[in-house]
Amino acid sequence: MSKVIVFGSMNMDLSIDAPRVPAAGETLSGSGFITAAGGKGANQAVAAARLGADVRMIAAVGADGFGEELAAGLAEASVDVSGVRRLSDVTTGVAVILRTAGENRIVLHAGANHALAAADVVADLRRIGEKNDVFVTQGECDPAATEFALRAAHELGLYTIYNPAPARPAPDDLWPCVDLVCLNETECQVMCGVLPVDDPTCLAAARSLRELGAGTVVITLGAAGSFGLGANDEPIRVPAAPATVVDTTAAGDTFIGALAAGQARSFSLAEAMSWGSLAAAVTVSRLGAQPSIPTAAEVEALR
């Protein structure tokens, strides 16, 4: 089975529940405060590993308590952390999360996530990447490093998965290096100018991204499920699996981890999206980012 190599962010999430968003200058009483391992890159790596993939992580944390805890958590999830650098001159990334009515509002401090240069990431990829491995990256690390990594992975013959979150415009010549782009509605609007609200607009957005050069497009739609468009131009619509929503923090990351693990296991796009839907349903029913991500056995039990 092919490896999954993730270049991405590692954050400590500081999360609290509030009855509503406070007004400027207002202090509210909160509840359910937790600290939990997070960061889109780390979440996606954990999801792919718990779903059975052989996962390697390329990332950076500070030489501090949060960094040690995050690296240990990845290792416990069977992610290879030999490519996680501990840096003494920056702090570990942090996400401050306000939970209100099942939705999240997040403030990020990038910290060490922006410390790796393009040359560092490309060197790691050339050392560990092999043809047909799966490479996954997002938008929470240094933009130049992310772009160079996608190009290098493509040149090495890896299957590239790009999750532009948070979204920012990408160079036109980067898109042909993307085998699969997975993004949500708002990210989709930033990347191609189309807000997908129904099947026709999903199709228009996906075709727009494919015209830019991307291979397969998957759009996640929250409670409305997901939409996919592959090389055969046949739309795939997968409904969201039933779930009791407690915390949506890592739902999208779990879905992407499932896509990566599915690709490594030679799943079809429809199979991988369905698997991702089930996995995300488990994730939203639990509190926290990485603690909420299910194993393959838990997902299979829902089939």
Question: What's the rounded Cα separation, in Å, for the pair 148 and 18?
Answer: 40
Q: Would you mind telling me the total number of residues written for the chain in this entry?
A: 303
Question: What's the rounded Cα separation, in Å, for the pair 238 and 83?
Answer: 35
Structure token pair of residue 14: 């500081």
Q: Is 252 labelled as part of a ligand binding site?
A: yes
In the beta sheet, which residues pair with residue 38? 11
Q: Is 247 labelled as part of a ligand binding site?
A: yes
Q: Is 224 labelled as part of a ligand binding site?
A: yes
Q: Is 140 labelled as part of a ligand binding site?
A: yes
Q: Is 123 labelled as part of a ligand binding site?
A: no
Q: Is 39 labelled as part of a ligand binding site?
A: yes
Q: Which of 54, 64, 133, 253 is catalytic?
A: 253
Q: Is 11 labelled as part of a ligand binding site?
A: yes
Closest CA to 54 of 264, 238, 211: 264
Q: Is 222 labelled as part of a ligand binding site?
A: yes
Q: Is 249 labelled as part of a ligand binding site?
A: yes
Cβ atoms of 284 and 243 within 8 Å: the answer is: yes
CA dihedral 57, 59, 64, 65 (to 10 degrees): -30
> Beta strands 79-87 and 54-62: pairing type?
parallel
Q: Is 253 labelled as part of a ligand binding site?
A: yes
Question: What's the rounded Cα separation, in Å, for the pair 140 and 180?
Answer: 18
Told to judge if 233 belongs to the known catalytic residues of this protein, a careful annotator would answer no
Q: Is 41 labelled as part of a ligand binding site?
A: yes
Cβ atoms of 163 and 136 within 8 Å: the answer is: yes
Q: Is 43 labelled as part of a ligand binding site?
A: yes
Q: Is 23 labelled as part of a ligand binding site?
A: no
Q: Is 104 labelled as part of a ligand binding site?
A: no
Q: Is 221 labelled as part of a ligand binding site?
A: yes
What positions carry a catalytic annotation? 253
Positions at the binding site for substrate: 11-13, 39-43, 140, 253
Positions at the binding site: 11-13, 39-43, 140, 184, 220-225, 247, 249, 252-253, 283, 286, 288, 292
Positions at the binding site for ATP: 184, 220-225, 252-253
Positions at the binding site for K(+): 247, 249, 283, 286, 288, 292
